[in-house]
Amino acid sequence: MTSTIKRSNFLILWASFSLVPELTTMMNMSNKKYLDLFTKQEQIEAEKRD
């Protein structure tokens, strides 16, 4: 019984570890999109001021 529990725990750990890089890249991509939008907005505001 304990061996199956250990195996399932290991699988859960392995799945979460294998998903971590994908999640971080997704977050980085979305962050970059937001940053790009923000910088574009700043540029537009700066152009309006000039």
pLDDT (0 to 100) of residue 48 = 92
Q: Which domain holds residue 32?
A: 1-50
Residue-wise pLDDT for 1-50, tens only, equals 678 888 898 888 888 888 888 888 888 888 888 889 889 999 999 999 88
pLDDT (0 to 100) of residue 24 = 86
Interatomic CA distance for residues 49 and 45, integer angstroms: 6
Interatomic CA distance for residues 6 and 22, integer angstroms: 25
Tokens 């000039």 correspond to what residue?
Answer: 50
Number of domains in the chain: 1
Tokens 């537009």 correspond to what residue?
Answer: 44
String of b and e for 16-40 (b: at least 16 CB within 10 Å)?
eeeeeeeeeeeeeeeeeeeeeeeee
